[in-house]
Amino acid sequence: MAWLELSLTLRADQQERIESALEDLGALSVTLVDAEDHPIFEPAPGETPVWPTLALQALFAADTDRAGLAHALHELVPEVEPDQLGFREVEDQDWTRAWMDQFRPMPFGRRLWIYPWNIEPDDAPADSVIVRLDPGLAFGTGTHPTTALCLEWLDGLALAGRTLVDYGCGSGVLAIAALKLGAAHVIGVDLDPQALAASHGNAERNGVAERLELRLPADYRPTPQPLFVANILAGPLTELAPLFAASVAPGGRIALSGILAGQEDELLARYAEWFAELAIARREDWVRISGVRRGG
């Protein structure tokens, strides 16, 4: 089945009116992406990330009259001229299956592998530790450099019988990896209830849900633990440094990621108050900081 796709570049302040007008005109879906190169990271729950300049695609039934649609949109939003619009026919496809087909097994470190739930790990090395994730969840699959850096850090630790805090747990990939690598218990913290639900679901799929404790930040009270990981953003990493320091026992290890290259110096200085042996690892444009909690 084919569809008619309307495309348009617009400013952020036009987004709400144009999106509403397109829905009134019968758009079956409206998608917004960055039209230039403005990164937007984790928005707070309930917020919609909006870039300064947006590329919009709206889908309509294939037999929709293009000229009539362009005229009607101009009537509703006069600054949108018909010659600004692009049209093309697009073929239908199974979007979930397309995502699954793109998500392939990925190794991290010496023995850790992330597998999509729909692929059996028949060809994995004998000593592999396998985390199975729902490929329908488009976040937290290990494909982002910050997640990969944290997974590699976990793979290099002695986790057996230890407790780890995963602050900003998202899909639970780091928490589940730690549990599968031998951690006795993980405390996962995230400000988004949907992320906590995703973490729980993925933990159940991996048979480790009973060892994963999930909390909202308001319910998290720091107690010193031997291991701590936070894959969030540089701003929150700076702001929450005292909380994170209080969460790590003397001699315990910390890993911080979600840091763009160039942001690490400020964070190194910030965490030096509590942590020694601070070191950085890089992947593409991203940095991970690791360190050891000072005693006392």
Q: Which of 252, 247, 259, 294 is nearest to 274 (CA)?
A: 294
Identify the sign of the CA torsion 48, 235, 224, 176: positive
Question: Are 25 and 141 in the same domain?
Answer: no
Question: Are 134 and 81 in the same domain?
Answer: no
Give this prediction's pTM.
0.66
Measure the CA–CA gap between 30 and 23, rounded to whole angstroms.
Answer: 8
| CA 140 from centre of chain | 5
Residue 216: the pLDDT is 95
Supply φ then ψ for residue 50, to 5 degrees. -130, 130
Residue 201: the pLDDT is 87
Question: Are 156 and 229 in the same domain?
Answer: yes
Whether residue 233 contacts residue 239, with contact meaning beta carbons closer than 8 Å, is answered with: no
Question: Are 85 and 152 in the same domain?
Answer: no
- Pull the structure tokens for residue 214: 């999930």
- The SS3 of residue 32 is strand
Q: Which domain holds residue 174?
A: 104-293
Is position 99 within any domain? Answer: no
Q: What is the mean pLDDT of each run of 10 residues along the chain (296 residues)?
A: 83 87 86 57 46 81 91 93 88 48 67 71 71 56 76 93 94 92 96 86 91 96 96 91 97 94 94 97 92 88
Residue 100: the pLDDT is 45
